[in-house]
């Protein structure tokens, strides 16, 4: 079944490789199919992968081992909503998404200097 899908949608093969690099042994082909969005991937939108990375990172940070290590270090908890590091990473991700969207426009060459100025 996997090979047939990859014949129909070459991006699915690439996506499955990226999925496996994130999930390692925990992932399955069925779980990949639940996350992967063929239509968006073929249009250049890989938000499914961004969401998968965010879920994986959040689950790793909320594991008992991490909380135990944080308590050992005297850190009571993390406030992901107001953390400046979290906010900065979200702003950076949004800038990259906008840059990618603008790069697909017909007038990108004209807009590139303005875009770089706005995103700096």
Higher per-residue pLDDT: 38 or 68: 38
pLDDT 10s digits, 27-56 = 888 888 888 888 888 888 888 888 888 877
Residue 77: pLDDT band (50, 70, 90) is: low
- pLDDT surpasses 70 at 75: no
Residue 100's pLDDT is what? 73
Residues contacting residue 76 through CB under 8 Å, at least 6 positions apart:
70
In this structure, are residues 119 and 95 in contact, taking their beta carbons and an 8 Å threshold? yes
Angle (CA) 37-20-77 rounded to 5° is 90
Residues contacting residue 95 through CB under 8 Å, at least 6 positions apart:
119
Where are the domains positioned within the chain? 1-63, 79-120
């Amino acid at each position: 079944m996997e090979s047939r899908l990859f014949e129909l949608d070459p991006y699915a093969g690439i996506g499955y490789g990226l999925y496996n690099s994130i999930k390692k042994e925990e992932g399955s082909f069925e779980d990949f199919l639940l996350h992967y969005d063929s239509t968006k991937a073929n249009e250049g939108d890989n938000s499914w992968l961004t969401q998968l990375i965010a879920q994986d990172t959040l689950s790793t940070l909320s594991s008992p081992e991490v909380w135990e290590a944080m308590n050992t270090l005297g850190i009571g908890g993390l406030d992901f909503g107001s953390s400046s590091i979290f906010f900065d990473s979200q702003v950076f991700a949004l800038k990259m998404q906008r840059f990618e969207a603008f790069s697909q426009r017909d007038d990108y060459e004209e807009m590139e200097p303005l875009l770089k100025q706005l995103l700096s």
